[in-house]
């Protein structure tokens, strides 16, 4: 059974930093591009970042470029999202995903 389990979401002050993690199981993690997608409260889905199987290519939505960094550790079947200079508008549930499967999400709240 495919599972994606996110963690790391908390309440953080504007300007702060946070690292999200996602542990994958039930499939060959190193064979897949991985993605982070977020959903602000009551809003739709927004793709945030993608990373290639070996980590050599990374892509970001414009609003997080220069602030967020996606990475992975294939030995640990883990995906990460380092989030710096956080803003109120980054408040959202963050999902780890491949096209066919999504995690349950982890809530990031940016507020003073």
Partner 1 sequence: DIVMTQTPLSLSVTPGQPASISCKSSQSLLHSDGKTYLYWYLQKPGQSPQLLIYEVSNRFTGVPDRFSGSGSGTDFTLKISRVEAEDVGVYYCMQSKQLWTFGQGTKVEIK
In the list 29, 32, 80, 95, the residue contacting partner 1 (rule: CB under 8 A) is 95
Instruction: Examine residue 41 and tell whether it contacts partner 1 (CB under 8 A).
Output: no
CA distance linking residue 98 with residue 37, whole number of Å:
10
Q: Which of 83, 97 has the CB closer to partner 1?
A: 97
Q: Using an 8 Å Cβ cutoff, are 32 and 98 in contact?
A: yes
Min CB(87)–partner 1 separation in Å:
21
Q: Using an 8 Å Cβ cutoff, are 2 and 99 in contact?
A: no
Min CB(7)–partner 1 separation in Å:
15
In the list 8, 23, 27, 50, the residue contacting partner 1 (rule: CB under 8 A) is 50
Beta-strand relationship, 11-12 and 106-110: parallel
């Amino acid at each position: 059974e495919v599972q994606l389990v996110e963690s790391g979401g908390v309440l953080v002050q504007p300007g702060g930093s946070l690292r999200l993690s996602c542990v994958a199981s039930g499939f060959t993690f190193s064979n897949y591009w991985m993605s982070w997608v977020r959903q602000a409260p009551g809003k739709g889905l927004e793709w945030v970042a993608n990373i290639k199987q070996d980590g050599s290519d990374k892509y970001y939505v414009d609003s997080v470029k220069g602030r967020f960094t996606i990475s992975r550790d294939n030995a640990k079947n883990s995906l990460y999202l380092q989030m710096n200079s956080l803003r109120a508008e980054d408040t959202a549930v963050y999902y780890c995903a491949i096209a066919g499967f999504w995690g349950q999400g982890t809530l990031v709240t940016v507020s003073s």
